[in-house]
């Protein structure tokens, strides 16, 4: 069972290894809401911009607030995720980065919208490292495909977006062309795209 802590004025910070399992209660007056971004549909869930945590905040009958810091786990794709209670004995798993993106956008993202990790680190959900992009841009900013392959004659073919680009004597030449094409295409895809940090800064 989660540990409960009651305090009157200020709470002392806890070590990172236990903060995810702490459940604490505050009054509305003591709780600082200005750095919280509310989710558009799961309205009792928030993203704390300062502490970079996901919270569930409920008002008790006493008028006090029950604040739960959501515990994050790795899903099958390697992303941080957590559970949202949707009904009696019913839960939904949510990717943390997508939840954060929807909090920043103030709307539910479409199936064709993806949260791109700029540095390709799936665990780095800093607002400055996330941006809402299409599937094409999301795939371009990844290392899942290198775009060049060895041939039987010990040469290397370069392909980009299923289009043959040429055959080269060395892997380095094929890689250089692929990376050049990839960078150019990504620049076009990202025209006008902002990070989540820039999005909320512009709104503020």
- 79, 98, 118: which is the final residue of a domain? 79
Q: From edge to edge, which strands make up the β-sheet containing 148-150?
A: 148-150, 156-160, 163-168
Chain centre to alpha carbon of residue 48 = 13
Q: Identify whether 96 is part of a domain.
A: no
pTM given for the model: 0.77
- 64, 79, 94: which is the final residue of a domain? 79
Quote the pLDDT of residue 100. Answer: 97
Which domain does 35 fall in, by range? Answer: 3-79
Quote the pLDDT of residue 97. Answer: 97
Q: Identify whether 184 is part of a domain.
A: yes
Q: Identify whether 99 is part of a domain.
A: no
Q: Identify whether 116 is part of a domain.
A: no
Specify the number of domains making up the chain: 2
Q: What is the pLDDT along the chain (204 residues), one digit of tens a residue?
A: 333 333 333 333 333 433 333 333 333 334 455 689 999 999 999 999 999 999 999 888 888 889 999 999 999 999 999 999 888 888 889 999 999 999 999 999 999 999 999 999 999 999 999 999 999 999 999 877 788 999 988 899 999 999 999 999 999 999 999 999 999 999 999 999 999 999 988 655
Q: Identify whether 197 is part of a domain.
A: no
At 130, is the secondary structure helix, strand, or coil? strand
Q: From edge to edge, which strands make up the β-sheet containing 36-38?
A: 3-6, 22-26, 65-69, 53-59, 45-48, 36-38
- 33, 60, 79: which is the final residue of a domain? 79
The residue count of the chain comes to: 204
Q: Identify whether 173 is part of a domain.
A: yes
Q: Identify whether 42 is part of a domain.
A: yes
Q: Identify whether 103 is part of a domain.
A: no
């Amino acid at each position: 069972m989660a540990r409960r802590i009651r305090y009157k004025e200020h709470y002392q910070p806890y070590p990172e290894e236990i903060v995810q399992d702490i459940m604490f209660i505050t009054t509305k007056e003591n709780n600082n809401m200005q750095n919280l971004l509310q989710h558009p549909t799961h309205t009792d869930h928030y993203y704390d911009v300062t502490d970079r945590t996901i919270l569930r905040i409920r008002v008790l009958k006493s008028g006090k607030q029950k604040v739960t810091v959501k515990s994050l786990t790795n899903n099958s794709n390697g992303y941080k995720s957590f559970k949202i209670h949707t009904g009696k004995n019913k839960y939904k798993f949510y990717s943390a980065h997508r939840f954060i993106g929807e909090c920043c956008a103030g709307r539910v993202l479409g199936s064709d919208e993806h949260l791109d990790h700029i540095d390709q680190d799936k665990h780095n959900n800093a607002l400055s490292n996330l941006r809402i992009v299409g599937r094409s841009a999301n795939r371009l900013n990844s290392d899942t495909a290198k775009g060049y392959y060895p041939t039987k004659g010990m040469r290397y073919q370069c392909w980009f977006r299923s289009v043959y680009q040429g055959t080269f004597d060395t892997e380095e030449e094929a890689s250089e062309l692929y990376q050049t094409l990839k960078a150019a295409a990504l620049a076009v895809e990202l025209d006008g795209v902002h990070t989540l940090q820039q999005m909320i800064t512009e709104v503020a």
